[in-house]
Amino acid sequence: MRIEASTPAETEAAGARLARRLGPGDVVLVSGELGVGKTTFVRGACRELGVSEAVTSPTFTIGQVYGGRVEVAHLDLYRLASLDGEDPALLDDYLTPDRIAFIEWPAAAEPRLERVRANVRMEHLGGDRRAIEIDGP
Amino acid sequence: MILGIETSCDDTCAAVVTRAGEIRSNVVASQGLLHERYGGVVPEIASRRHLELIDAVIADALERAGASLDDVREVAVTRGPGLIGALLVGLSAAKALAAARGLPLTPVDHLHGHVVASTLGPDPIEPPYLCLVASGGHTFIARVDDLRAHRRLGGTLDDAAGEAFDKGARILGLGYPGGPAIDRLARAGDPEAFPFPRAAPGELDFSFSGVKTALLYAVRDLGEREAERRKADLAASYQSAIVEALVARTRTAVEREGIERLAIGGGVAANSLLRERIAQAAGELGLRLWVPDFSLCTDNAAMIAGAARFGEPIAHPGYLALDAAARLEAAA
């Protein structure tokens, strides 16, 4: 499915729509350039899943876990060039079967990720317009 | 004396601070160079380096303070937020030291450490005051009525200011850490060359995601050669957009809260434009401003030991089960 969004609210709505089709254990990869709205997309999904706290960029801590109707893990592997030399348990701490997980900048971990339910690719179309390509449920 | 330990991100820190707030030592072993090669912090490498460095850093802090473990009455340690593996190294070291001597241990919220950093030294700030904390992982304005806790008035809805500097530097091809690189380059540039947006979500909140996108588009529209030629203007305009947003929100907070004391903290407080503009705003508003020494703005253990003076020590052995927390709820 391909959606065009021209406001952050529309990007959030696209995230919310996907979230309605997700269940515990599902992993969603969200990729796209800096500033394309990945965190905004995840924020929309989190709101739909009942998360009320602030959903901010997890670049600094690599991962955050929010409490909602179901727990949501929000990861950002931007600072990880690759997971070579990393402790494989780094991601396992976040990606548990009872959580829905969103992973921004997933490339570093992609080969070893399981339970990937959706792949979201976001692209700048110039100005405020974004293309959101969702490969999933 | 209080021994402070801080390992929430990529610096291994230990410090000795007296109950009166005198800093006897403040040691930081930075992993900056190590991470520069990777373009950022690598959690597993950060944890391993903390483990290698922590004992030496603590010994160094004691030695520079002219003290021994016999002089330490309390151990303070960062419990979160931060990288979980990194936090655990400091927490475990703190527990082991405290338990071996039957000392009390005080867990400290890293962010509260930044907020109360200006209570250290010969001219301590006193409540009520406001504090702008801007770092790589956090950006918020807090109100302090009582040094035991702070109340968050507003904060970033997406990226932290330091993160915006890092990512902007990456877009401009300047490397890591981005803040100092942009600060240096911006001195040769025109801050009004590019009209980057100053997002204004909510009254006291920040958003730095839009300005990052605007920089990306500007670089793309200029093309590689032209962007390279105008790099200093891009850096200056980008820095100005971030700093003006920080200063504008802080001004609003000061006016709304009617408080006459202001402090800044966090690594971004080292930015020369922010220092200049916040001092100017403080002058215009008739505020007293506390800008801690650079060594107290970036991550450090003195602010952790300092914050422990207002915290609740846990008696031995109650803290042995204490766990690190990647994310703490904002202090109430």
Is a pLDDT exceeding 60 seen at residue A2?
A: yes
pLDDT recorded at residue A133: 97
Of B137, B170, B171, which has the smallest distance from its Cβ to A60's Cβ? B137
Residues B113 and B127 in one domain: no
pLDDT recorded at residue A82: 58
Residues B244 and B161 in one domain: yes
Residues B52 and B155 in one domain: no
The answer to whether A82 faces chain B, any CB pair under 8 Å, is no
Phi/psi of residue B151, each to 5°? -115, 130
Residues B158 and B26 in one domain: no
Residues B128 and B148 in one domain: yes
Query: For residue range A45-101, what is the model confidence (pLDDT) as tens digits?
Result: 999 999 998 898 888 778 888 999 999 999 998 877 656 666 656 677 788 899 999
Confidence tier at A108 by pLDDT (50, 70, 90): confident
ipTM above 0.85, yes or no: no
Please indicate whether, in this complex, the C-beta atoms of A54 and B44 are within 8 angstroms of each other.
Answer: no
Please indicate whether, in this complex, the C-beta atoms of B42 and A90 are within 8 angstroms of each other.
Answer: no
Residues B197 and B248 in one domain: yes
CB neighbour list of residue B51: distance below 8 Å, 6 or more residues apart: B89
Question: pTM for the whole thing?
Answer: 0.88
Phi/psi of residue B85, each to 5°? -65, -40
Which helix H or strand E contains B115, and what residues bound it? helix B110-115
Residues B285 and B315 in one domain: no
Residues B24 and B82 in one domain: yes
- At the top level of CATH, which class does the domain A2-124 belong to? alpha beta
pLDDT recorded at residue B332: 29
CA dist B228 and B213 (Å) reads 18
Split into its structural domains, chain B has a count of 2
CA dist A58 and A44 (Å) reads 15
The answer to whether A69 faces chain B, any CB pair under 8 Å, is no
Residues B283 and B187 in one domain: yes
pLDDT recorded at residue B38: 54
Residues B206 and B305 in one domain: no
Please indicate whether, in this complex, the C-beta atoms of A87 and B216 are within 8 angstroms of each other.
Answer: no
Which CATH number fits the domain that encloses residue B43?
3.30.420.40
Of B82, B102, B117, nearest to B4 by C-alpha is B117
**Residue ranges of chain B with per-residue pLDDT less than 70:** 31-45, 327-332
Residues B218 and B252 in one domain: yes
Q: Are strands B23-30 and B11-17 parallel, antiparallel or unpaired?
A: antiparallel
Residues of B in contact with A35 (CB under 8 A): 209-210, 212-216
CA dist B295 and B214 (Å) reads 32
Domain containing B276 equals 123-291
User: Nearest residue on chain B to A36, judged by CA atoms?
Assistant: B213
Residues B142 and B63 in one domain: no
pLDDT recorded at residue B177: 76
Query: For residue range A7-53, what is the model confidence (pLDDT) as tens digits?
Result: 999 999 999 999 999 999 999 999 998 889 999 999 999 999 999 98
Of B137, B155, B171, which has the smallest distance from its Cβ to A34's Cβ? B171
